[in-house]
Structure 1
Amino acid sequence: MTLIRLAIIALCMVFTAGPYAEESANLTDGGISVSDKNFPWQLVVDRGKILGCVYDNKFYSLGAILILESLPRKCELASDRNGIWEQLTEAELLLWQESIEEQQATKQEANYIGNDPINDEEARLIRYLRSAKKRADTQ
């Protein structure tokens, strides 16, 4: 069960770490405005408690990762069913740092040839060639 939970956290980190790897000052990207009337709040409210965390008047779902006070925090559910921001464990912090490094390497690989930036068409062509090579290697 612990490995599954760590894998889920790692996936969440991969998807949420991108904006924070580049600009940690942007804390509220990905959050939902608490005053948003179109959001289906009935899905995240249980007996009057919001199953998630609020920061800077934005709602974040359980498991969301945010950089608060220069440290990544995750949204956890307390025993009173309130969402609270907790520090990541050492294992989760290592996974988070690895995911940031992976994302930066992927971005570098996808948008540059050596030190020269490439345009969107060139990047698309390179991704296609890499995927075609990968398919040919597996066959």
Structure 2
Amino acid sequence: MKLTTFSLFLFCVLQLPAAAAEETARLTAPGISVSDKNFPWQLVVDRGKILGCVYDNKFYSLGAILILESLPRKCELASDRNGLWEQLSEAELLLLQENIQKQQAVQQEATYIGQEPINDEEARLIRYLRSAKKRAESQ
């Protein structure tokens, strides 16, 4: 159970946008509006309980991470099967910060050459050249 939770946490952390590092009231994902009629709610409702967390009238799945005023929280399942926003442990917090820094570096590398920003076509060309180089090195 711990390994599944950790792998879900790790998946969510790796999905954090670079903007998550800003110390503002931002969410890592837009969430799903609670009033959305198109969402298949039968997949996340068990015996009348929503298996996830609600914040600001939006649904977040278990393991989702919320960054609010620089206080990260994760969606956990309480003993009564209600979603609950809990604080990250110190190890998870360090992992989160490390992954945010890595993602910022990747974002910087993908959109800048030195201090100059690049456009989409230039970024696409650079990604292609890097992937071609990796393929050539592996062969």
What TM-score, normalized to structure 1?
0.91
**Deviation by residue 1:39-79 (Cα, 9 ceiling, x = unmatched):** 00000000000000000111000000001342100000000
- Who is 2:36 aligned against? 36
8 Å contact 2:25–2:68 — kept in the other structure? no
8 Å contact 2:26–2:68 — kept in the other structure? no
CA distance in 2, matches of 1:28, 1:96: 12
Evaluate the alpha carbon distance shift between residue 100 and residue 119 of structure 1 in structure 2; reply closer, same or farther with a 3 A threshold: same
RMSD, matched Cα: 1.8
- Who is 1:91 aligned against? 91
- Who is 1:9 aligned against? 9
1:99 CA drift (Å): 1.0
1:9 CA drift (Å): 1.3
- The residue type equivalent to 2:38 in the other structure is N
Evaluate the alpha carbon distance shift between residue 28 and residue 125 of structure 1 in structure 2; reply closer, same or farther with a 3 A threshold: closer
- Who is 2:121 aligned against? 121
Evaluate the alpha carbon distance shift between residue 68 and residue 28 of structure 1 in structure 2; reply closer, same or farther with a 3 A threshold: same
The percent of aligned pairs where both chains have the same amino acid is 76
Give runs of aligned pairs for residues 44-83 of structure 1, distance below 5 A: 44-83=44-83
CA distance in 2, matches of 1:86, 1:56: 16
What runs of 5+ residues in structure 1 fail to find an aligned partner?
Answer: none
- Who is 2:105 aligned against? 105
CA distance in 2, matches of 1:120, 1:23: 27
CA distance in 2, matches of 1:61, 1:27: 13
- The residue type equivalent to 1:94 in the other structure is L
1:14 CA drift (Å): 1.5
Paired residues, number: 139
- The residue type equivalent to 2:24 in the other structure is S
CA distance in 1, matches of 2:28, 2:37: 18
1:33 CA drift (Å): 0.5
What runs of 5+ residues in structure 2 fail to find an aligned partner?
Answer: none
What TM-score, normalized to structure 2?
0.91
